[in-house]
Amino acid sequence: SQELEQSPQSLIVQEGKNLTINCTSSKTLYGLYWYKQKYGEGLIFLMMLQKGGEEKSHEKITAKLDEKKQQSSLHITASQPSHAGIYLCGADKAGGSYIPTFGRGTSLIVHP
Amino acid sequence: DSGVTQTPKHLITATGQRVTLRCSPRSGDLSVYWYQQSLDQGLQFLIQYYNGEERAKGNILERFSAQQFPDLHSELNLSSLELGDSALYFCASSRGGTSPGGGYTFGSGTRLTVV
């Protein structure tokens, strides 16, 4: 199955700061999802990236897919307390093997 | 409200017991996925059903089983429960059976505590 490694594991930032979360795959990426999870709650779909070089934005959150590096990055500009939560990357195709997998998540705390 | 309904929200049971978790997918979605989330394992895919048929299997223990009914709701049965089965169990749904192409819609989860 596909392994997705996220870094950093946790992040504490001051409100207003920019931050980046990375997701690296052990296998070729054919598509990647980003989700946000409030602590103890369900996952909320943020965006999906399907093509190398593709970049998508959702409010102040931007994600980009680098297929060559088998990596995606999620960037938050001018962070707010409402951005706090756990960010998970997920992928559902890896060289023909269809097992939806997720990274371990990055825990984000934003101090006002 | 995501449209995916999971019941119950919380469940406390003793070791050795059997429980059933229920999931109703979002209207129009044919696939249901079950996940287990724990602190040490992260979010682990258990099993997927598409239109009543098992489509993909992940790290699901033999003590666990699932099914999807004609009305598309799904149940996850956990038996001979152990302390290590304590976790958040999520159900997600999607329109298609392969490469959802828009992401999965997750329910709010069932928190299972085995004592």
Q: Write the pLDDT tens digit of every residue in B23-43.
A: 999 999 999 999 999 988 888
Which residues of A are less than 8 Å from B90 in CB distance? 42-43
Position with higher pLDDT, A36 vs A39: A36
Please name the residue of chain A whose CA is at the shortest distance from the CA of residue B38. Answer: A104
CA within 13 Å, CB half, B4:
27
Rounded to whole angstroms, how far apart are CA atoms A9 and A86?
10
Predicted local confidence at residue A93, as pLDDT: 62
Distance from CA of A79 to the nearest CA of B (A): 24
- A31-45, B12-26, B38-52, B99-113: the lowest-pLDDT one: B99-113
Tell me how far apart the terminal alpha carbons of chain B are, to the nearest angstrom: 30
Distance from CA of B79 to the nearest CA of A (A): 24
Predicted local confidence at residue B98, as pLDDT: 67
Q: How confident is the model at residue B1 (pLDDT cuts 50, 70, 90)?
A: confident
